């Protein structure tokens, strides 16, 4: 459930995206711009607009999104004759071998809204040396250390330490008991 105070505009298009015999990029989305607010934390445009209660860049979109125009057309991993390709229905019921377009769009829009980190995955460095809103709620379960308190090298190692990266914060931990999987010590 999203309770946003400012409209979020998405610029979306179909483009040929990477695909080969084994895999395909279905879509990609992210914020058009990020803002560092008074707390010295970076927020996506949608988050910053929500916090401020008004559009910081009227007339501009907040999210850039691209979806694979070749999937189900000329992408070798998706053959429309075999029932593969995009499913454009709204009932969440794709046919055998099809990919539900609405699910992919929803997933990518969440990245644009702020379910992403601006940390450099290769180096672990913070974006321009500051925290982002997402990474402030990440904790390494092996060390019990928040990402915001780690060195670049520690963050880089934590990002590839499968199974030990946890989401924290009062809003998440208050509902962790209702999950049947993916919970460790009250963290999701």
Task: Calculate the alpha carbon distances from 176 to 114, 115, 144 in Å.
Answer: 21, 18, 17
* Residue 188 pLDDT: 54
| Cα–Cα dist 64/61, whole Å | 8
**Strand 85-87 with 98-100, pairing:** parallel
Choose between 113 and 173: higher pLDDT: 113
CB 188 within 8 A of CB 138: no
Q: What is the mean pLDDT of residues 90-113?
A: 94
| Cα–Cα dist 28/10, whole Å | 12
CB 162 within 8 A of CB 152: no
Length of the chain in residues, anyone?
188
What tokens does 43 get? 């927020």
The helix (run of H) or strand (run of E) holding residue 94 is none
Q: What pTM was estimated for this model as a whole?
A: 0.86
| Cα–Cα dist 57/54, whole Å | 9
Of 31-40, 79-88, 104-113, the range with the lowest mean pLDDT is: 79-88
Q: Is the dihedral of CA 87, 112, 186, 148 positive or negative?
A: positive
Beta strands in the chain (DSSP E): 10-15, 27-31, 34-36, 41-44, 63-68, 85-87, 98-100, 131-132, 138-140, 145-146, 165-167
| Cα–Cα dist 8/122, whole Å | 30
The DSSP bridge partners found for residue 69 are none
Mean of per-residue pLDDT scores for the chain: 90
Of 14-23, 42-51, 147-156, 173-182, the range with the lowest mean pLDDT is: 173-182
């Amino acid at each position: 459930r999203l309770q946003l105070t400012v409209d979020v505009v998405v610029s979306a298009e179909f483009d040929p995206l990477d695909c080969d015999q084994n895999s395909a990029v279905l879509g990609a989305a992210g914020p058009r711009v990020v803002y560092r607010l008074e707390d010295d934390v970076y927020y996506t445009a949608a988050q910053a607009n929500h916090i401020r209660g008004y559009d910081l860049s009227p007339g501009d979109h907040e999210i850039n999104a691209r979806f694979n125009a070749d999937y189900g057309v000329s992408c070798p991993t998706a053959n429309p004759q075999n029932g593969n390709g995009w499913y454009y229905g709204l009932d969440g019921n794709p046919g055998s071998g099809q990919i539900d377009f609405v699910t992919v769009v929803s997933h990518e829009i969440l990245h644009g809204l702020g379910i992403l980190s601006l940390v450099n995955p290769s180096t672990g460095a913070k974006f321009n040396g500051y925290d982002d809103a997402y990474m402030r709620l990440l904790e390494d379960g092996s060390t019990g250390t928040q990402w915001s308190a780690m060195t670049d090298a520690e963050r880089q190692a934590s990002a590839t330490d499968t199974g030990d990266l946890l989401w924290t914060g009062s809003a998440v931990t208050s509902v962790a008991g209702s999950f049947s999987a993916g919970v460790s010590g009250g963290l999701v």
